[in-house]
Amino acid sequence: MKSYRDLIVWQKAVDIGTLTYKLLNNFPEDEKFGLTSQIKRSSISISSNIARGSLLEMQTQLQIANHLSFFKLDDLNVINDLSLQIGKMLNSLIKK
């Protein structure tokens, strides 16, 4: 491995940050400085810090947004599937 950019977990974390930003485009304008801002920060923090805590934070915030009907359940499922993969990779990386 030459760089953290070679880590598949980092690459997937960048992907989830990108997907999350796209999803947030549909959130209500009045959430711009509330939940939207929090989700953006936590989703970016996953790849920035290779942080399991940030991943769990983002999952929780997206679940709350889902309860508020800010997006379709299918969109959440795509991000949840990717976040489960990332979580397993982070756990494995931490154990090593």
pLDDT above 90: residue 96:
no
Separation CA 18–CA 44 (nearest Å): 8
Q: What pLDDT does residue 2 have?
A: 84
| Mean pLDDT calculated for residue range 50-58 | 94
| Mean pLDDT calculated for residue range 21-38 | 93
| Mean pLDDT calculated for residue range 10-31 | 94
Instruction: Provide the domain count of the chain.
Output: 1
Q: What is the CATH number of the domain that holds 66?
A: 1.20.1440.60
Q: What pLDDT does residue 7 have?
A: 94
Separation CA 43–CA 12 (nearest Å): 11
Give the residue numbers spanning the domain of 27: 4-95
